[in-house]
């Protein structure tokens, strides 16, 4: 599985299943030091019309961004155990589309993600996200249960 790959991306939201997905991706990366491992999370775009004229939306978006930064700091510490090239990204937009577009725009060979994401940032990765990615991604998708 790892032989023909050069880049893996993990969709991460801090949930238990995304942690398992990260562990699985690290396991794969350890088998080939040339493999690049990227970890991404996505913050849904700000839609002020849904809230009280934008004030609540901005505050909520800032809180989600702060939480995402904290989660990615933890991920970076975890990634320090492998010699591979690693990067973390916080993306803006619909999580399913953000994962799909990141994979396509960055020549990703494999997306690793949990079947559901109900932890840390609850709104980010739901079952519908993994379903969308499996259906739309142009690369292989590894779903962790």
What burial class does residue 39 get, using C-beta atoms within 10 Å of its C-beta: 0-12 exposed, 13-18 middle, 19+ buried?
buried
Proportion of the chain in helix, strand, coil states, percent, rounded to 5: 45, 20, 35
- Determine the CATH number of domain 7-144: 3.40.50.620
**66-116 confidence digits (pLDDT tens):** 999 999 999 999 999 999 999 999 999 999 999 999 999 999 999 999 987
Distance CA 86, CA 44 (A): 24
Quick one: pLDDT at residue 54? 54
Quick one: pLDDT at residue 2? 60
Quick one: pLDDT at residue 32? 94
Nearest alpha-carbon partner for 131 in 141, 123, 122, 120: 141
**7-57 confidence digits (pLDDT tens):** 999 999 999 999 999 999 999 999 999 999 999 999 987 665 555 555 666
Q: Where are the domains of the chain?
A: 7-144
Interstrand relation of 110-114 and 7-11 (parallel, antiparallel or unpaired): parallel
Tokens 């690369």 found at: 139
Whole-model pTM: value is 0.86
């Amino acid at each position: 599985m790892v032989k023909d790959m050069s880049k893996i991306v993990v969709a991460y939201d801090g949930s238990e299943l995304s942690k398992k997905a990260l562990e699985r991706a690290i396991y794969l990366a350890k088998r080939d030091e040339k493999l690049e491992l990227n970890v991404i999370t996505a913050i849904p775009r700000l839609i002020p019309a849904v809230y009280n004229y934008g004030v609540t939306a901005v505050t909520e978006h800032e809180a989600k961004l702060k939480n995402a930064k904290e989660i990615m700091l933890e991920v970076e510490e975890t990634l320090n155990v492998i010699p591979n090239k690693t990067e973390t990204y916080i993306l803006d937009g619909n999580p399913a589309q953000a994962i799909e577009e990141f994979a396509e725009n960055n020549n990703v060979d494999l997306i690793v993600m949990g079947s559901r994401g109900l932890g840390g940032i609850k709104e980010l990765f739901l079952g519908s996200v993994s379903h969308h990615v499996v259906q739309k991604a142009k690369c292989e998708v590894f779903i962790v249960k």
